[in-house]
Amino acid sequence: MKEIFHRVSVRKFEDRAVESDKVEQVLRAAMAAPSAGNQQPWDFYVVTSREKLHALAQVSPYAGCAADAPLAIVAAYRQEGCRFPQYAQIDLAIAMQNLWLAVDSLGLGGVWLGVAPDEDRMEKVEKILPVAAGQRAFAIFPMGYPVEQKTQQDRFNAERIHYVK
């Protein structure tokens, strides 16, 4: 529960590499996510190239922070060969949430930059990275050690809860 109520969007990172074992841990967490029919439609691209990070920072007006991140994880999905292809993006969303919570648990920070379902953004990412044929770009997640610690705002709103008996 700690990470759920601690996780915040981090867009400024220390100039410090993220250890490879921590990167593997967050990817393991992402791949531990449930998926429709256990189809596991995901692939993850770990981007550390400054040139590629700068290019990813141009994908949307909100992606600028990718330029100064030590790395970004780009999630992609496939629909071909999936039992329930219409749920592939939902499967990726669950995997990304797992990834984000793992990032927080390791003292790292990051931010989910939306790519899918915006076709223009998806195509831009797919031109920057060697995304395999049959895969579609889903999200960019710049991550690293946060420059500052922020407190998550309380979003609970009892008025949005409806009990049906």
**pLDDT band at residue 82, thresholds of 50, 70 and 90?**
very high
Is residue 39 within 8 A of residue 84, CB to CB? The reply is yes
Mean pLDDT (the chain) is 96
pLDDT in tens, 11-55: 999 999 999 999 999 999 999 999 999 999 999 999 999 999 999
Among 56, 161, 71, 160, residue whose Cα is nearest residue 113? 56
Dist. CA 74–CA 115, nearest whole Å: 10
Dist. CA 26–CA 49, nearest whole Å: 19
Dist. CA 72–CA 67, nearest whole Å: 9
Checking if the pLDDT of 62 tops 90, the result is: yes
* CB neighbourhood size of 56 (10 A): 27
Is residue 24 within 8 A of residue 154, CB to CB? The reply is no
